[in-house]
Amino acid sequence: MSERHARRPRHARYPRLVAVVGLLAAALSAAGGPRPARAQEPGSLTGRVVAFSDRAAIVGARVTVAGTGDTAVTDEEGLFRFRDLAGGSRVLHVEYLGMHARDIPVELDPRRPLSLEVALRVSVIPVAALLVSVDRGLPVNKLYDFYRRMEHGHGYFFTRADVLRRHPARVTDLLLSVPGIDVGEHRLGGSSVTMGRRKGCVPEYYVDGTRAPRYDLDDLQPSDLAGLEIYRGNSEVPLEFKAFERCGAIIVWTREPGSGR
C-alpha cells in the first residue's frame, strides 16, 4: 500500500470536532468540574389552632407531620411552628383531648412560607344513662357524713333500708342485735339504754348532729328514723362527737316531716 493511501488517525480526520471537545473540557476544568444536582431547600410552616365555636386559642394541642418525627405543641396563643421541612405534599395531624382530631393536607414550597389556621370541634362522648333516686324527705348532704363513717367500719349502723326491712315496733328494738348494749325500761317510764364496761353507763346522745342529753330513743317513731349510729365505747366514738367523756355515743338522724316513705 502506498503512503498516500495509508489510513489517517481519527482526530486528524475531524479537526473541528476535536477543537470543540477541547474547548468544552477546558471550560469545565476552569469551573471546577461538573456541579452536583441542587438539593431541595427546606420550607417553613406556622399555624394556629383554635376552637371552632368561638375561635379561642387552644393551648397544648399536638401537631404532627405525618410520616415524620416532627411534632409541635401549641403555645398560650394557640401557635405552632415548623422549620426546615422538606418541600412537597405533607399531612398535618392535629389533636387535642376532648376535640375531634383533624388531618390537614398542605403543600410546602421553600419559596413561600406557609401559614394556616386549624379549627377543632368539641367531641361529644356518649355516656351510659344514670338513674338517680332522691329522698325528698332529707335535706341535701344531711347523711353525707353518716355514710362516710359507715364505710370506715367503726361502730354499728342502721340505715333507712334496715328500718323498712325489720319493721321494728320501737327504735330500741334495733339495738337488741348489737352486742354489749342493754335495753330496759326506765323506772320513770320510757326506755333505758346502757353500754360499755361500766355497769349502767349511759351513752351520749346526738340528734341530727346536735347533743341531746337524756334523750329517749323511743320518743321517736321508727318511721321517722333516717339513720342510726351506735358506738359502744369512747375509743370508737368519732372525733366530732368526743366533746364529752362517756362510755359511748348514739347518733340519731331523723327524716323530714311529710316525707313520702
- CATH code (residue 210): 2.170.130.10
Give the mean model confidence (pLDDT) for residues 207-233: 90
Nearest to 228 by CA among 170, 175, 154: 175
Give the mean model confidence (pLDDT) for residues 255-259: 67
Residues 55 and 150 in one domain: no
Q: What share of the chain is helix, strand, coil (3-state, %, to 5)?
A: 20, 35, 45
- pLDDT given for residue 261 in this prediction: 45
Q: How far is Cα 59 from Cα 50, in angstroms, rounded to an integer?
A: 9
In the chain the beta strands, taken as DSSP E runs, fall at: 42-51, 62-65, 71-73, 79-86, 88-95, 102-108, 114-120, 156-159, 181-185, 191-195, 204-207, 210-211, 225-231, 249-254
Residues 103 and 48 in one domain: yes
- pLDDT given for residue 222 in this prediction: 93
First to last CA, the chain: 138
Q: What is the pTM of this model?
A: 0.45
Give the other-Cβ count within 10 Å of 98's Cβ. Answer: 10
- pLDDT given for residue 33 in this prediction: 47
Sequence length of the chain is 261
Give the mean model confidence (pLDDT) for residues 147-156: 86
The domain tally of the chain equals 2
Higher pLDDT, 43 or 143: 143
Task: Name the residue type at position 71.
Answer: T
- pLDDT given for residue 242 in this prediction: 78
Residues 98 and 49 in one domain: yes
Residues 185 and 237 in one domain: yes
- pLDDT given for residue 121 in this prediction: 94
Q: Residue 136 pLDDT > 70, yes or no?
A: no
Percent of the chain with pLDDT over 90: 37
Q: Which pLDDT band holds residue 39 (cuts at 50, 70, 90)?
A: very low
Q: Residue 161 pLDDT > 50, yes or no?
A: yes
Identify the domain containing residue 66 by its residue range: 42-120
Does residue 28 sit within a domain?
Answer: no
Does residue 33 sit within a domain?
Answer: no
SS3 28: helix
Q: How wide is the angle at C-alpha 96 spanned by C-alphas 90 and 97, nearest 5°? A: 145
Residue 99's DSSP bridge partners are 122
* Residue after which a domain boundary falls, among 88, 120, 152: 120
